[in-house]
Structure 1
Amino acid sequence: MVDHVLALAATWTDWDGRPVPAGDRLYTPHKAIRRVADHMVDHLAEMEARLVGEETQPDHWHASATTTAADLAPFTGADLDEARSRLTRLARIWANRLDALTPDELDRSAGTGWTFRQLAFHLAESAYYADSVGDLTASATTAPGGGGTGH
């Protein structure tokens, strides 16, 4: 999922500044990266809390319902570099955490909610945010706003 998101993000440095509608939401390059990272952090926090027997903390993010002023900023090469660092490190944390769990722990996860295996598969749906912005290369065959499902 992260590789897919970053491949799309590599096409966003020439974004024209117009948010892309997807259903009842608007997406921009910064918002897509923010949502992918927030989704990864949110479910990682859930998994870690459940593993140590704590109550999970509800997030208070506005998620994709809100487009902030920061979401509307140009997406530069430096932003792409930051996104690469942020998302690849989060993906590595997820991989390390999941690799440390036994198959039984993945499928019979502590606490209530989805199993940790289901959480991992659910995270793949985060590509929806990037798919909503789409491939913004001049010769793109993928139209912005196409593909994916998610929240």
Structure 2
Amino acid sequence: MSDETPTTDDRDPASVVTGTIDHVLALAATWPAWDGRPRHTDERLYTPHKAIRRVTDHLIDHLAELEARLAGQETIPDHWHASASTTPADLATFTDHDLDEAKSRLTRLGLIWATRLNALTPDHLDHSPGEGWTFRQIAFHLTESTYYADAVGNLTTHSD
């Protein structure tokens, strides 16, 4: 993922975020077929559970930033080790039940993001309070979360 200022365009920021989630969930729908072998990308390991965890964490971290800035509060720095950490839970089998939970969690997060972004004026989106990227830039930055899901890929078409 990049620390460069995200490029934006004329798409609706809420649709950008929910589209990102739709992309992740479309891939995740294939992950119950996972063979249990982590995928290697950029010298890191990725699994279905890790991809869902990282996408979820990314959405939550930036939502907390947005809400703190709107409230005029300091943001809390992210001290998580991102994708460098692979936990024992990340290595667990990814079942249909896990997929159902991921759909529920990410769909709810998408709704929260869409509701929040749609409540902001264009001025708030492009001239956001506090330090950091504008809220529009943050929404477009969240598209980088697909990296984690793409690292696992579509397992119905995957061949080694």
TM-score, with structure 1 as normaliser: 0.91
Say if 1:27 and 1:133, in contact at 8 Å, map to a contact too: yes
Matched, 1:134 2:158: no
Q: Following TM superposition, where does structure 1 have runs of at least 4 consecutive aligned residues deviating by more than 2 angstroms?
A: none
What corresponds to 1:122 in structure 2? 141
SS for the counterpart of 2:120 is coil
TM-score, with structure 2 as normaliser: 0.86
Say if 1:134 and 1:143, in contact at 8 Å, map to a contact too: no
What corresponds to 1:99 in structure 2? 118
SS for the counterpart of 2:146 is helix
Structure-2 separation of matches of 1:80 and 1:62: 24
Structure-2 separation of matches of 1:51 and 1:143: 46
Say if 1:6 and 1:84, in contact at 8 Å, map to a contact too: yes
Structure-2 separation of matches of 1:14 and 1:72: 14
Alignment equivalent of 2:96, drawn from 65, 68, 77: 77
Deviation at 1:143, TM superposition (A): 6.8
SS for the counterpart of 2:45 is strand
SS for the counterpart of 2:40 is strand
Per-residue CA distance 1:19-40 (angstroms, 9 max, x = gap): 0011121100000000000000
Per-residue CA distance 1:106-133 (angstroms, 9 max, x = gap): 0000001000000000001101100000
SS for the counterpart of 1:136 is coil
- Residues 19 and 114 of structure 1: is their aligned pair in 2 closer, same or farther, counting only changes over 3 Å? same
Gaps of at least 5 residues in structure 2 are: 1-19
What corresponds to 2:57 in structure 1? 38
What corresponds to 2:87 in structure 1? 68
Gaps of at least 5 residues in structure 1 are: 145-151
Q: Alignment length, in residue pairs?
A: 141
Letter in 2 for 1:111: G
Structure with bigger RCO (C-alpha 8 Å, 6+ apart)? 2
SS for the counterpart of 1:21 is strand
Structure-1 separation of matches of 2:78 and 2:110: 20
Percent identical: 72
Alignment of 1:49-64 (within 5 A): 49-64=68-83
SS for the counterpart of 1:17 is coil
Q: CA RMSD, aligned part only?
A: 1.2
Structure-2 separation of matches of 1:85 and 1:61: 24
